[in-house]
A = this chain, B = another copy of it.
Amino acid sequence: MGNSFGKLFKITTFGESHGKALGVTIEGCPAGLAIDEDFIQQEMQRRKPGQSKITTQRREEDEIEILSGVFEGKSTGTPIGIVIRNADQKSKDYSHISDKFRPSHADYTYFEKYGIRDYRGGGRSSARETAARVAAGAIAKMLLKAKGISVQAYVSQVGDLTLEKNYQELDLNQTENNIVRCPDPKIAEEMITLIDSVRKDRDTIGGVISCVIQNAPPGLGEPVFDRLHAELGKAMLSINAVKGFEYGSGFEGVKMRGSQHNDSFVKEGDRVRTTTNHSGGIQGGISNGEDIYFRVAFKPVATIMQDQESVNESGENVTVSGKGRHDPCVVPRAVPIVEAMAALVIADYLLLAKSDKIQDI
């Protein structure tokens, strides 16, 4: 249980950080979609380690291999199997922690749950698993692109350094122009400086990623439990290190009065629009055609380059020493992961909406 996501456009992943490979099976991709392998690989590059001075220096090429489901450049409707070999598979690196529980990692909880654990770099609990999600998300993005829908995420906070501008005030095409993936060049520079200083302190820091989905049609969402934002929230909360999710007005909206918060409807040409968008493009769990936007909170990475007190499997007090190559801040590399998961949700709900009305059957 727990390795699949989605209902019709559905992915199933496998793989540990230091096993032979990661993999993902993508079911439900409609037949006839042109599959651009280069695009998938580009998305992988955005997530891969070693891409800049503020990410882990671990080396993984993260080359994808499509094993099925694509024929003569197009999806065939059958499941698309993709594997990503783990190149940097140095399990010896981890012998020093093989029986120790690293603080705020999943070592202890996996051990309690399964009675056994693959101690090499976190095993299944490692964020390395998200590589498979990015590959699958790239295919979802192609589907959305074919329907004119875009998904764009960016870093909006690092520590207490906050990008105060709204997404509408930003040029999201600038996100990829700097290594921290913040579309405001000035704030980006400050974020990079902050992350770099934290790294030099042998410490880590948290951040926030904002995401905007544009041109999604009205009518996406499955009430009552599978509301569109509930599924987006679950998708985000399933990403490593995520501690919170809010959409539209979010936690700030709590302070507003209904008379301020309500989004008035108006007719704009053929379309019904809203004059404001505190709803974040979703009302009653269903998209209303406005921009869908949300924010995702990431905690500071648990692996720090410092000694920490802990216990081992026998319950003895031990010291866990920081070793290896790790990210001082996870958000720059998490931007494509957020986009991938969002794209998977929207693709899935697009398919689900095909059978809403009797006239469509």
Contact = CB atoms under 8 A, between A and B. Distances in A.
A285 interface: yes
**How many copies of this chain does one complex carry?**
4
Nearest to A79: B14
A261 B230 CA distance: 27
Interface residues of A, number: 156
A161 to B, nearest CB: 9
A185 interface: no
Per DSSP, are chain A's interface residues mostly helix, strand or loop, or mixed?
A: mixed
A207 B254 contact: yes
B300 A253 contact: yes
A257 B198 contact: yes
B230 A112 contact: no
A254 B356 contact: no
Given A1-B28, A245-B246, A284-B125, A303 B67 contact: no
B113 A218 contact: yes
Given A13-B25, A76-B124, A79-B124, 12 more contacts: A12-B12, A14-B67, A16-B69, A19-B67, A104-B263, A106-B283, A109-B219, A160-B255, A203-B258, A225-B234, A253-B299, A258-B302
A3 interface: yes
A31 B68 contact: no
A150 interface: no
